[in-house]
Every structure is written in structure tokens, then in C-alpha cells.
């Protein structure tokens, strides 16, 4: 009997050493601990033994049974833990957080796409500018009252942070002879209060076309195409008389309100119209200032605030949201 027990123990050890998975574990349980298993049949064999030996072997078989049962349970548990740390290729992956362009960059890209499609090329200039380029060459002498509108940040006498992108037009016209067909996108600075419609740093885009025989009709046509491209074919537009020292005649471009369709709402101040920007024919004095003959050449110029366009396009009522970097706002674009 003792020998049989020893053989069975060895057999169990060999079987346990070969366990690879839960199925082989279960096979061992059935083989040794099952109702018709080897341990139970050993119990049957001790029935014919004398009482003393029955007790001793009965105890030993019980111990073997308990040990094996515990061993099988702990191995089963270790398989369960392993399973949870295994990689499940069928689980959906974690979506990485992907960034995107800022709404102002998107608007810039759209504007640049429109103008380059019509043959304009992109020109850039310095953000720290001489008084000459920012004002004087643009027909605003030192004592010109229109300078007040530009609320400029001066660094020192005759040097300032440009308050519009027009100085780039002067820089290009000084170097290049007509035909000139450029757009000047860029950052501008004014000491306006930081409120819902003003920011001390903002963006503009301007277009300039100078050549022989350029007329106001061409400008009006281009503005029509511009409005259709940016706000859809149903949007109406009108040109209103205006004044800028560097254009003559000057106009203001307005479009039918994209929110209320011209019926009148809070965004358009119940007028049904939204102002987009200024335009006009380049003033003859500006051409003279850059040594282009106004007798031979003429040109048109137009300019607008990029924030203003983005606010109308995306129905945003506060310019500050572009600069607050609140991810909840930016994620919407
Ligand atoms: Zn409206």
C-alpha cells in the first residue's frame, strides 16, 4: 500500500511538471481527484486493511488529496492572472489625441488660396517698421489726423510696431516695377483695449494690384468672387463710399448677414449687413512716393482683418477666444 502511494505521488509530480494550460490542469484534476479518479480508487483499496493501517493510509491519502487540490487551485489562479495581462488584439485601440490648425490659420489658408488662384503672390515684411512705410509713404504726413485711428505702439521716434500690413505694399512697390500683384498677410499691433471686438495683436491680409489700366470695376468684380468663395454664392455684397488717406476713391465692403440672411439679428446689429473691410484705388500720391508714375499706372488695394472674417465665418462673438488657447474652444474646428 505504501509503495502504491509512493508511485501515485511520483506520477502526480510528473504530470504537474508537464502542465501547460488550463486544459491539462483540468485533465489532471479528473484523472486523480475525479469520482472515478486514482485517489478515490486508492480509498477503496484500503477497505480490506486492518483498522490501524486503515487509519494511517486513510490519513496519508487524504493529505495527498488536499495537497493536490490546493496545488491545482493555485495553478489555475495563476493562469487567470496571466490571461488578464495578455494582449487582446481584438480590443479597440486607444485613439491618440491629434492636433489641428488654429481657426485663424485655417482662415488665413483659405484667404491665401483664393488670392493665389487669381494670380496674386504672397509678400511679407517686418513687424517693426519705420514711420515712413507705416504712414508717410501711405499719404499720412507726420501731422495727419488719420494717424490717430491707428493707435500705434512706438518703439522710438520713427520706429513702431506696424499698425497695418500696408507697409509691405510700399516695400514691394519700391523694389518692383508694375505689374505688381501681391497679397500681404501678417500680424499687426495697436494699443486698443482687449475687449470683445479689439485685440492689441491681430492679423490682416491686404491685396494690391498695380498695372496699366487697372480700374475700379476689376476691384468690384474680384470682391464679388471673394464673397462667393468665402461665404457661398447666395451671399449679397455692396460697396459703400468710405475714406482712407491711401486710396481714392475708397470703399467699404459689406455682405448680407450670414446668420439672419439680411433680416436683421444681434450679430449684424439688426441692419442685415456685416462690414468686411476697406478697399479703393491706390492714391496717386502713394504711387509717386514709390516712384511709379500715376499717369501711366493705376492700381487697386483692399484689406481686411482676418479675425473679423473668422468671426463671421464661424459665428464667434468675441475676438479674445482666438488668443485664450482654451482647448475646449479650439477643438471645435
Ligand atoms: Zn444678422
pLDDT, tens digit, 9 for 90 and up, residues 210-230: 999 999 999 999 999 999 999
Q: How confident is the model at residue 237 (pLDDT cuts 50, 70, 90)?
A: very high
Residue 1, pLDDT > 80, answer no
Q: Which of 47-61, 236-250, 253-267 has the highest mean pLDDT?
A: 236-250
DSSP H helical ranges for 119-215: 131-134, 166-175
Q: How far is the CA of 256 from the centre of ligand 1 (A)?
A: 8
Q: How confident is the model at residue 85 (pLDDT cuts 50, 70, 90)?
A: low
Q: How confident is the model at residue 117 (pLDDT cuts 50, 70, 90)?
A: very high
Q: How far is the CA of 274 from the centre of ligand 1 (A)?
A: 8
Cell output for 146? 488719420
CA 16 to chain CA mean position, Å: 58
* Whole-number Å distance between alpha carbons of 105 and 121: 18
Q: How far is the CA of 241 from the centre of ligand 1 (A)?
A: 22
Mean pLDDT over 280-307 rounds to 96
Q: How far is the CA of 252 from the centre of ligand 1 (A)?
A: 18
Q: How far is the CA of 310 from the centre of ligand 1 (A)?
A: 16
Q: How far is the CA of 92 from the centre of ligand 1 (A)?
A: 45
Average per-residue pLDDT for the chain: 90
Q: What DSSP element (H or E) covers 204?
A: strand 201-211
Q: How far is the CA of 120 from the centre of ligand 1 (A)?
A: 32
Cell output for 208? 494690391
Mean pLDDT over 107-126 rounds to 96
Q: How far is the CA of 226 from the centre of ligand 1 (A)?
A: 20
Contacts of 80 (CB under 8 A, 6+ apart): none
First-to-last C-alpha distance (Å) of the chain:
83
Residue 58, pLDDT > 90, answer no
Residue 329, pLDDT > 80, answer yes
* Whole-number Å distance between alpha carbons of 243 and 286: 15
Q: How far is the CA of 114 from the centre of ligand 1 (A)?
A: 25
**Each residue of 133-183: pLDDT tens digit?**
999 999 998 888 888 888 888 999 899 999 999 999 999 999 999 999 999
To the nearest whole percent, how much of the chain has pLDDT over 70? Answer: 98
Of residues 126 and 56, the one with the higher pLDDT is 126
Cell output for 22? 488550463
Q: Which of 273, 178, 183, 187 is CA-nearest to residue 231?
A: 273
What predicted TM-score, i.e. pTM, was given to this entire model?
0.70
Mean pLDDT over 240-255 rounds to 95
**Each residue of 261-278: pLDDT tens digit?**
888 887 788 899 988 999
CA 6 to chain CA mean position, Å: 73
* Whole-number Å distance between alpha carbons of 332 and 283: 42
Q: How far is the CA of 227 from the centre of ligand 1 (A)?
A: 16
CATH class assigned to 103-330: alpha beta
Contact predicate 79/23, CB 8 Å: no
Amino acid at each position: 500500500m505504501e509503495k502504491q502511494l509512493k508511485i501515485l505521488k511520483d506520477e502526480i509530480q510528473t504530470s504537474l511538471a508537464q502542465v501547460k494550460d488550463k486544459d491539462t490542469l483540468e485533465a489532471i484534476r479528473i484523472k486523480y481527484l475525479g469520482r472515478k479518479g486514482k485517489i478515490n480508487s486508492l480509498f477503496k483499496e484500503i477497505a480490506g486493511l486492518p483498522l490501524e493501517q486503515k487509519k494511517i493510509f486513510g490519513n496519508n491519502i487524504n493529505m495527498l488529496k488536499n495537497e493536490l487540490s490546493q496545488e491545482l487551485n493555485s495553478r489555475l489562479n495563476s493562469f487567470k492572472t496571466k490571461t488578464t495581462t495578455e494582449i487582446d488584439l481584438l480590443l479597440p485601440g486607444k485613439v491618440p489625441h491629434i492636433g489641428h490648425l488654429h481657426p485663424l490659420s485655417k482662415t488665413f489658408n483659405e484667404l491665401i488660396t483664393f488670392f493665389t488662384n487669381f494670380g496674386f503672390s504672397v509678400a511679407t515684411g517686418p513687424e517693426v517698421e519705420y514711420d515712413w512705410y507705416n504712414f508717410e509713404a501711405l499719404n499720412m504726413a507726420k501731422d495727419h489726423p488719420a494717424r490717430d485711428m491707428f493707435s500705434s505702439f512706438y518703439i522710438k521716434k520713427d520706429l513702431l510696431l506696424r499698425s497695418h500690413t500696408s507697409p509691405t505694399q510700399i516695400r514691394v512697390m519700391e523694389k518692383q516695377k508694375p505689374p505688381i500683384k501681391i497679397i500681404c498677410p501678417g500680424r499687426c499691433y495697436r494699443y486698443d483695449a482687449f475687449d470683445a471686438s479689439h485685440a492689441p495683436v491681430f492679423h490682416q491680409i491686404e491685396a494690391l494690384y498695380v498695372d496699366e489700366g487697372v480700374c475700379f470695376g476689376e476691384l468690384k468684380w474680384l470682391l464679388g468672387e471673394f464673397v462667393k468663395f468665402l461665404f457661398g454664392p447666395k451671399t449679397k455684397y455692396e460697396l459703400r463710399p468710405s475714406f482712407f488717406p491711401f486710396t481714392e476713391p475708397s470703399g467699404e465692403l459689406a455682405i448680407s448677414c450670414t446668420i439672419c440672411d439680411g433680416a436683421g439679428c444681434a450679430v449684424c446689429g439688426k441692419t442685415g449687413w456685416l462690414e468686411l473691410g476697406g478697399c479703393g484705388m491706390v492714391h496717386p500720391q502713394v504711387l509717386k512716393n514709390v516712384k511709379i508714375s500715376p499717369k501711366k499706372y493705376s492700381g487697386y488695394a483692399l484689406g481686411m482683418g482676418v479675425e473679423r472674417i473668422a468671426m463671421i465665418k464661424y459665428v464667434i462673438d468675441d475676438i479674445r477666444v482666438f488668443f485664450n488657447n482654451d482647448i475646449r474652444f479650439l477643438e471645435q474646428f
